[in-house]
């Protein structure tokens, strides 16, 4: 992905206070943009645009932003009063993410020198309310960030919103390849793919499994050997009594799958993939290690035909790509609980496909039976996951709308090792606690599959959902069942 995104900084004003005032306005904006760029806290560059004072220029600027492929959003700020009717046509035609930075040039009131000239020139508290009114009246989705531009917390909120904006822009580029259909009889992974394309821009296409198997089978032995050598240099090899040669052969099958699948995805320009353990055609093994590695490379993944989760994982991968000190993003599945008082949590895994980006410490390769289907024992990467706050999301189709569940979770270490469990795992306690969190999740219709990340906040994912005009439900430290039930009732009317 090309991530050369910029954000335009557009200051609103008017010519009522004379040329000197406008000169100061433009100088202040220049300094603010400079400070923001110099702060090192923003993931993308801010570009200063000329002060906007006429509806012609506002309209022209917003339309230029629409057409500029590198522009991922506009940051607006009313330095002085800017009569908001001038913004109507520009806002109406604007189609990208909008941030309203409610800041001002001075941090403190200049008590000793303040006079009416100063008041007229520095009235964001006044001008931003007029502007905010029209954006609200027009029903336009936007983020409002309040505070002095030098404040680290303000800069962090701008940075978070920049990443959300990139998610909004990049969502429409996501293409999901399904090999095999939905797992038979499973409800929660189903959904309206046409509606998903209308809402999110996602393209979801199916391919016969054996078409991809042909590409896997055409991978040369030398290419396979090079990749297997790489695996052996990166990961611990846990033979567990298996014959070394036979073990390596099993690993080689995954190497061929990784190379073959990646070639197929690249050639056809897909960024996410679904597989189904029950429909593997002529593949020798369920893609385990191979799929884990593809997820690590940034591909989205969903098991058993779950294209919604595959697309969400891809979206999170795109949004968090290049993030400093990233802790990882993965497909996950709720498996089993620890219900011991005070130690409650959910053990997360999948058959095989957990992304190594979430791993904490050493990663090992194991070869074990799948205990489902009649294929060869697949090789897989095994590890445990990092501690810390994460967000587990589930996008479901309720028949008349999509709902995105967003649960803040506390990831922990399990108390003891699990030597007999041959899959990668995570363990978390959903907020506000396991009992309320799981009750809320079930009442809201959330799936057993989730798109999980340590590297985005619930607020960012919620902002993305708002931009997509879908329902989002937060389950977090503020959740009570009573309020959640009411919220769902209200939403069912709003989203009709
Ligand atoms: Mn599953």
Annotate 45-83 with DSSP letters as a single string.
EEEE-PPB-SHHHHHHHHHHHHH-TTEEEEEEEESS---
Helix/strand/coil for 336: strand
Q: What is the pLDDT of residue 228?
A: 98
Residue 17 C-alpha to ligand 1 middle, in angstroms? 64
Distance CA 220, CA 37 (A): 48
- Domain hosting 251: range is 175-321+329-494
The answer to whether residues 166 and 235 belong to one domain is: no
Q: Of the candidates 146, 171, 196, which is a domain's last residue?
A: 171
Residue 60 lies in a domain: yes
CATH number at residue 135: 3.40.50.10940
The answer to whether residues 126 and 237 belong to one domain is: no
Residue 488 lies in a domain: yes
How many structural domains is the chain composed of? 2
Residue 291 lies in a domain: yes
| pLDDT tens by residue, the chain, 496 residues | 457 999 999 999 988 888 898 999 999 999 999 999 999 999 999 999 999 999 999 999 999 999 999 999 999 999 998 899 999 999 999 999 999 999 999 999 999 999 999 998 999 999 999 999 999 999 999 999 999 999 999 999 999 999 999 999 999 999 999 998 999 999 999 999 999 999 999 999 999 999 999 999 999 999 999 999 999 999 999 999 999 999 999 999 999 999 999 999 999 999 999 999 989 999 999 999 999 999 999 999 999 999 999 999 999 999 999 999 999 999 999 999 999 999 999 999 999 999 999 999 999 999 999 877 778 999 999 999 999 999 999 999 999 999 999 999 999 999 999 999 999 999 999 999 999 999 999 999 999 999 999 999 999 999 999 999 999 999 999 999 999 999 999 999 999 7
Distance CA 375, CA 81 (A): 70
Give which of 244, 298, 286 is closest to 371, Cα–Cα.
Answer: 286
The answer to whether residues 120 and 191 belong to one domain is: no
Identify any residues that bridge with 348 across adjacent strands, giving them in sequence order.
334, 426
Residue 399 lies in a domain: yes
Residue 194 lies in a domain: yes
Residue 172 C-alpha to ligand 1 middle, in angstroms? 25
Distance CA 312, CA 461 (A): 10
The answer to whether residues 200 and 151 belong to one domain is: no
Contact 300, 312 (CB under 8 A): yes
Q: Of the candidates 171, 186, 204, which is a domain's last residue?
A: 171
Q: What is the pLDDT of residue 17?
A: 82
The answer to whether residues 32 and 97 belong to one domain is: yes
Contact 422, 352 (CB under 8 A): no
Residue 1 lies in a domain: no
The answer to whether residues 131 and 164 belong to one domain is: yes
Task: Give the CB-side neighbour count of residue 144, counting CA atoms within 13 A.
Answer: 12
The answer to whether residues 224 and 302 belong to one domain is: yes
Residue 140 C-alpha to ligand 1 middle, in angstroms? 37
Kindly state the DSSP code that residue 108 receives in the 8-state scheme.
S
Q: What is the pLDDT of residue 16?
A: 85
The answer to whether residues 182 and 238 belong to one domain is: yes
Residue 331 C-alpha to ligand 1 middle, in angstroms? 9
Residue owning tokens 């220049």: 30
Q: What is the pLDDT of residue 2?
A: 53
Q: Residue 344 burial (CB < 10 Å; 0-12/13-18/19+)?
A: middle
Residue 267 lies in a domain: yes
Residue owning tokens 């339309």: 63
Residue 453 C-alpha to ligand 1 middle, in angstroms? 17
Contact 367, 248 (CB under 8 A): no
Residue 348 C-alpha to ligand 1 middle, in angstroms? 11
Residue 447 C-alpha to ligand 1 middle, in angstroms? 10
Helix/strand/coil for 425: strand
Residue 348 lies in a domain: yes
Residue owning tokens 């949590």: 345
The answer to whether residues 207 and 99 belong to one domain is: no
Residue 294's CB is within 10 A of a number of other CB atoms, namely 22
Reading the block at residue 24, the tokens are 């100061």
Residue 44 C-alpha to ligand 1 middle, in angstroms? 36
Contact 447, 312 (CB under 8 A): no
Contact 83, 130 (CB under 8 A): yes
Residue 450 C-alpha to ligand 1 middle, in angstroms? 9
The answer to whether residues 147 and 265 belong to one domain is: no
The answer to whether residues 369 and 400 belong to one domain is: yes
Q: Of the candidates 140, 171, 202, which is a domain's last residue?
A: 171
Residue 40, sorted as left (phi over 0), alpha (psi -120 to 50) or beta, turns out to be left
Residue 111 C-alpha to ligand 1 middle, in angstroms? 63
Contact 65, 25 (CB under 8 A): no
The answer to whether residues 132 and 197 belong to one domain is: no
Residue 350 C-alpha to ligand 1 middle, in angstroms? 6
Residue 304 C-alpha to ligand 1 middle, in angstroms? 6
Distance CA 245, CA 280 (A): 24
């Amino acid at each position: 992905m090309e991530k050369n995104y910029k954000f335009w900084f557009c200051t609103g004003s008017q010519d009522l206070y004379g040329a000197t005032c406008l000169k100061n306005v433009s100088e202040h904006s220049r300094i603010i943009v400079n400070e923001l760029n110099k702060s090192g806290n923003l993931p993308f560059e801010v570009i200063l645009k000329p002060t906007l004072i006429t509806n012609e220029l506002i309209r022209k600027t917003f339309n230029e932003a629409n057409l500029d492929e590198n522009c991922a959003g506009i940051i607006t700020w009313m330095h002085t009063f800017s009569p908001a009717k001038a913004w109507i046509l520009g806002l109406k035609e604007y189609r990208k993410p909008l941030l309203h930075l409610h800041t001002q040039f001075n941090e403190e009131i200049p008590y000793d020198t303040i006079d009416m000239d100063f008041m007229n020139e520095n009235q964001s508290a006044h001008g931003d309310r007029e502007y905010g009114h029209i954006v609200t009246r027009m029903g336009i989705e936007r983020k409002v960030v309040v505070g002095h531009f030098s404040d680290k917390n303000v800069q962090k909120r701008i940075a978070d919103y920049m990443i959300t904006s990139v998610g909004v822009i990049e969502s429409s580029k996501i293409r999901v390849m399904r090999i095999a259909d939905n797992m038979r009889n499973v409800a929660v992974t189903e959904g309206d793919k046409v509606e998903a394309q209308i809402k999110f821009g996602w393209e979801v296409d199916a391919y016969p499994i054996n078409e991809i198997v042909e590409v896997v089978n055409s991978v040369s032995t030398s290419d396979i050997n090079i990749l297997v050598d790489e695996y052996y240099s990166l990961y611990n090899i846990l033979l567990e009594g298996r014959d070394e040669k036979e073990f390596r052969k099993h690993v080689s099958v995954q190497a061929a799958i990784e190379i073959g699948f990646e070639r197929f995805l690249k050639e056809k320009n897909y960024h996410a993939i679904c597989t189904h353990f029950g429909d593997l055609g002529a593949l020798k093994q369920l893609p385990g290690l191979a799929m884990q590695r593809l997820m690590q490379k940034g591909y989205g993944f969903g098991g058993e035909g779950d294209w919604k989760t595959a697309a969400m994982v891809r979206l999170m991968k795109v949004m968090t790509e290049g993030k400093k000190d990233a802790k990882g993003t993965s497909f996950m599945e709720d498996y089993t609980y620890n219900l011991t008082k005070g130690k409650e949590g959910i053990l997360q895994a999948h058959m095989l496909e957990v992304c190594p980006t979430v791993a904490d410490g050493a990663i090992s390769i194991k070869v074990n039976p799948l205990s489902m289907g009649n294929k060869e024992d697949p090789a897989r990467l095994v590890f445990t996951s990092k501690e810390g706050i994460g967000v587990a999301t589930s996008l479901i189709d309720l028949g008349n709308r999509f709902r995105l569940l967003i649960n803040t979770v506390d990831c922990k270490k399990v108390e003891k090792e699990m030597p007999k469990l041959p899959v990668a795992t995570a363990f978390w306690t959903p907020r506000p606690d396991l009992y309320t969190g799981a009750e809320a999740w079930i009442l809201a219709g959330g799936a057993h599959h989730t798109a999980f990340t340590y590297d985005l906040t619930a607020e960012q994912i919620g902002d993305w959902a708002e931009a997509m005009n879908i329902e989002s439900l937060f389950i977090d430290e503020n959740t009570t069942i009573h309020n959640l039930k009411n919220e769902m009732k209200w939403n069912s009317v709003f989203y009709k």
